[in-house]
Amino acid sequence: MYKRFADAIIIGGGVTGTAITYYLSKTGIQPILIEESNLNAGASGACDEGIVLQSKHTGIMLDMVLKSAKLYKTLEDELNYPIGYRNVGGMIIINEEKYIPVIETFIKKQQQQGLNIHMLHPSDIHKQQPGLSKKVVASAFSKDDCNVYPFKLTLGYVEAAKRLGAKVLLHNRVNNITINKNTLGDKRRELRITTNEHEILTPIVVDATGCGSRQIGKMLGLEIPVFPSRGQIVITEQIPPLIKHQIMDAKFIVAKHKPQLVEKNNALSNLNVGLTIGQAETGNTLIGGCREQVGYNTSTSFSTIREIVKNAADFFPFMKDVSIIRSFAGLRPTTPDNLPILSQTPIPRFYIASGLGGDGLSLSPIVGKIMADLIMKGNCNIVDISQLSLDRFFNIG
Amino acid sequence: MKEDYVVCRCEEITLQEIKSAIKQGAITLDEIKKYTRAGMGLCQGRICSTIIIEILKEHGYLPQYSAPPHSRIPVRPVKIWEYIGEDQDV
Ligand SMILES: Cc1cc2nc3c(=O)[nH]c(=O)nc-3n(C[C@H](O)[C@H](O)[C@H](O)COP(=O)(O)OP(=O)(O)OC[C@H]3O[C@@H](n4cnc5c(N)ncnc54)[C@H](O)[C@@H]3O)c2cc1C
């Protein structure tokens, strides 16, 4: 057991934890990032590449993603690392007339909040994205949606943070966190982290463990309501650049606003499958998506994969002749109200940045910045994070 | 093996890239794959896995750390039309 001190400890090597490590390092302190396995072991290693603005609800989520998108524009230069950032633009495609008014209302509110988005003229849809089935009757388009490669993004944050003095402990699982009672007034010793290899005393701890948060909370007697929502993704062989944009089925949005409009009696909606598709820089396409409540199970299933590729062939008939080479599943760390938790806690200097659901990649730089402010200044002027506090789940009425 | 030896031919990943991933902290096949893309290509690591395991061993990582990445659907590349079956109305 090695004993040491740290200015701050961040637990979890996904996009959230690595972003926080970087932005905290920038304030001049030297944190340690602890990851039980390796970078991207959780949701951040099993997701799409989308920085998607147009799927966000107006209010704090759209506010955060707009600010995040701005940070992403210069992030690659700032980190001095190739993170695979590409401004591809995004479409929300509609294949049912009855969804059109829902999406029109949705994007009108987004426009008022400053999002660059519009409905495409019907005759432009198939020019904007050739190969799309004629079943697509309408589509929204935002040129601000982007792609980023999550594996390189986390490495980029980590390498930049290390240059500023941060340290990274991989293959270290946090097994316990305790509060040091007898610190003789020395704040540096207030919290004690125990991993399989180390014991570290530190004044500041940030939980960024995604679906691990409930477990971390239990170590301190806190209830952190973050639950897994599984998504499965199919990867195809590399093909020429045919899928130009990050594309999402309007059904995902309609299901939230007007659930009664989405058919419940067919196989697709039972699995909660709605197409998401994008093409990576390598030429592989990534096809999703679904939301399944199956606990912590990260296996893929034949039936869901079949629905996903069927859906892809339905929207993009040419995809029928494309080969799939791999599939994987990831767990979105999801909260009961689908908003993240970016928060202080009843335990002084123990913070939470978790519950990022299906949006963690899109939000990583802004989350890093918000947490650095919260930790170093005691408050955050970037967005009103009171809505994202842990106690919102417990202050009823 | 020379540093520019191509370990994973599908994704064109060299020995040097594998070694630098090990330096950054990748110690299993799955971790090497995430750091470098080796094994993500058309053959899904069927050819390069054994070489990467040897490289890991040379760096002192025990074989039990080298559990193969999850084997997942599909077992070999399959055209989408084959997968969904021709009876399907697509
Ligand atoms: C199929 C799918 C598609 C997605 N597509 C997108 C998309 O296009 N755009 C987007 O913005 N978002 C997307 N998401 C969501 C995104 O992946 C997540 O919101 C994001 O990755 C969460 O990152 P995180 O760092 O908070 O958590 P994670 O990536 O889950 O990281 C948590 C880390 O903590 C570690 N950990 C846990 N417990 C401990 C412990 N006790 N000690 C030490 N370490 C521990 C884990 O090993 C893990 O590495 C998608 C998600 C899925 C599943």
CA atoms A232, A297, A367, A388: torsion sign: positive
Instruction: Give this complex's ipTM.
Output: 0.86
In this predicted model, what pLDDT tens digit does every residue of B26-51 receive, in sequence order?
999 999 999 999 999 999 998 999 99
Task: For A365, list phi and psi in degrees, rounded to 5.
Answer: -65, -40
Please indicate, yes or no, whether the overall pTM of this predicted structure exceeds 0.90: yes
Confidence of residue B86 (pLDDT cuts 50, 70, 90): low
Contact A320 B79 (CB under 8 A): yes
Closest CA to A297 of A211, A377, A178: A211
CB nearest to A310's CB, from B41, B72, B84: B84
Closest CA to A147 of A327, A307, A362: A362
What is the predicted pLDDT for the residue at A204? Answer: 97
Q: Which residue ranges have their beta carbon within 6 Å of ligand 1? A: A 11-17, 34-37, 41-44, 46-48, 50, 52, 173-174, 208-212, 215-216, 231, 233, 288-289, 330-333, 354, 356-362
Q: How far is B62 from chain A (nearest CA, A)?
A: 14
Buried b (16+ CB within 10 A) or exposed e, A44-82: bbbbbbbbbbbbbbbebbbbbbbbbbebbeebbeebebe
What is the predicted pLDDT for the residue at B20? Answer: 95
Higher pLDDT pick, B6 / B75: B6
Average pLDDT, chain A: 94
Chain A residues whose C-beta sits inside 8 Å of any chain B C-beta:
37-40, 45, 151, 155, 168, 170-171, 235-238, 282, 299-300, 302, 305-306, 309-310, 312-314, 317, 319-328
Separation of CA A51 and ligand 1 centre (Å): 14
pLDDT of A50 strictly over 80: yes
What is the predicted pLDDT for the residue at A2? Answer: 64
CB nearest to A321's CB, from B72, B81, B88: B81
What is the predicted pLDDT for the residue at A347? Answer: 94
Parallel/antiparallel/unpaired status of strands B6-8 and B13-14: antiparallel
Task: For A363, list phi and psi in degrees, rounded to 5.
Answer: -100, 0
Quick one: tokens of B57?
A: 């061993």
Q: How far is B78 from chain A (nearest CA, A)?
A: 5
Contact B84 A314 (CB under 8 A): no
Confidence of residue A257 (pLDDT cuts 50, 70, 90): confident
Q: How far is A83 from chain B (nearest CA, A)?
A: 12
Least confident of A214-218, A301-305, B16-20: A301-305
Least confident of A103-107, A125-129, A198-202, A258-262: A258-262
In this predicted model, what pLDDT tens digit does every residue of A114-170 receive, in sequence order?
999 999 999 999 999 999 999 999 999 999 999 999 999 999 999 999 999 999 999
What is the predicted pLDDT for the residue at A196? Answer: 95
What is the predicted pLDDT for the residue at A264? Answer: 62
Which chain A residue has the Cα nearest residue B40?
A326
For atom 21 of ligand 1, which residue has the closest CA?
A44
What is the predicted pLDDT for the residue at B90? Answer: 39
pLDDT of A271 strictly over 90: no
